[in-house]
Amino acid sequence: MPYRAKRPTIKDIARISGFSTGTVDRALHNRGDIKPQTKQKILNVARSLGYKTNCIASVMSRKKPLVFAAIFPKELHYFYDDIRRGFLDAMERLRNFKVTPLLKDIESLGKGEEEALQTLLKEEVDGVVFTPGHRSRFNHFIDRFAERNIPVVTVSTDAPRSKRLTSVCVDPRKNGELAGELMSHFVSQGGRVVVMVGSMEIEDHFQKVEGFREVITQFGKGIELLEVLENREDEAQAQRNFLEVLQRYPELEGIYIATANSIAICEVLVKTPFYRPPKVITTDLFQAMIPYFQKGVIHATIFQNPYRQGFEATMSLFRYLVEGIVPPPCAYLEPIVVMRSNLEFYL
């Protein structure tokens, strides 16, 4: 009869890790109050021994369901609706595992997060998916969740110095670098360009601008970045800012719109007579953009797959809480260049 290695037990993990069997059991099955550092040490020992819990049995035996809360902006709806849809589709997939959603909608990025987070801290939740509208302003909320052993996954943008579990997004710096490389091919030697963002206080927007600036400088064509305009994710504000830019720089050659707030700018471009229209690089892709691709107003967009971001963020919470799989600090999706020729594949 062939030799069979003894299957590791909770007692083995307790002996090697130095923690009690009760603490080990709580760490493996995500029950009770346990320090994140302690849980991580126990999970590392369990993984090294090849210990595997019966995840399905563990979840199905719970008396209470796992509650995954999500905080998403209502606007810009054509972007955040896709993130929300990804979250809800993941929740539907996890329904048989006793996982239920708790949605908290806020007005727009940077408006309403404090109130929503404060409310969630008073409720019984097991994990949070969150789109932070500032790189650091919400860190103390995220850290309070972490201290209560409630993991937070940031999505679309990040709060990098917080205790969030991971961030699921397209690498924003690479996104900006890609846009910068495209722009260097689109505009002439010494061309003058602008960048439009929601706010430089948003980590995603700040990193995109830095990546864009770095690459157009490296390409050495003398491209001049005239201004970075902050539109606060407001379509009317975006139009006002852009009209003022056209008055100041009628010879403008390029525009990089580093948020999904591009339709307002495209409307101005269609109505404005140009001797030589500026080259436009946008962010993401949704149905309302198609006419502007067809008219040649938009030359390229950097697709960030918001649906997949919402889905993956939710599944990473589940894998961490139920299976003990610790995600990387940042789970980056690939940025995709979409132009008129390959538009049909991404709608």
What is the C-alpha end-to-end distance of the chain, expressed in Å? Answer: 58
pLDDT at 39: 84
Per the CB < 8 A criterion, the answer to whether 202 and 190 are in contact is no
0.95 exceeded by the pTM?
A: no
Residue corresponding to tokens 């962010």? 283
User: Cα dihedral angle (176, 177, 178, 183), rounded to 10 degrees?
Assistant: 90
Query: What would you report as the CA-atom Rg of the chain, rounded to the nearest whole angstrom?
Result: 23
Q: How far apart are CA 200 and CA 68, in angstroms?
A: 29
**For every one of its 347 residues, what pLDDT tens digit does the chain have, with 9 covering 90 and above?**
343 456 788 888 999 999 998 888 888 876 667 888 888 888 888 888 877 666 555 666 667 899 999 999 998 888 999 999 999 999 999 988 899 999 999 999 989 999 999 999 999 999 999 999 999 999 999 999 999 999 999 999 999 999 999 999 999 999 999 999 999 999 999 999 999 999 999 999 999 999 999 999 998 789 999 999 999 989 999 999 999 999 999 999 999 999 999 999 999 999 999 889 999 999 999 999 999 999 999 999 999 999 999 999 999 999 999 878 889 999 999 999 999 999 999 97
pLDDT at 31: 67
DSSP-derived secondary structure letter, 76: S
pLDDT at 8: 82
Whether the bond into 76 is cis, omega within 30 of 0: yes
pLDDT at 325: 85
Beta strands in the chain (DSSP E): 66-75, 99-108, 127-130, 152-155, 166-170, 192-197, 224-230, 254-257, 279-283, 300-303, 330-333, 336-338
What the block records as the tokens of 138 is 């919400």
CB atoms within 10 A of CB 328: 9
Query: Would you list the DSSP string of 306-341?
Result: HHHHHHHHHHHHHHHHHH--PPPSEEEEPPEEE-GG
Q: How far apart are CA 299 and CA 212, in angstroms?
A: 17
pLDDT at 54: 62
Beta 336-338 vs 300-303: how paired, if at all?
A: antiparallel
DSSP-derived secondary structure letter, 6: P
DSSP-derived secondary structure letter, 248: H
At 60, which amino acid appears? Answer: M
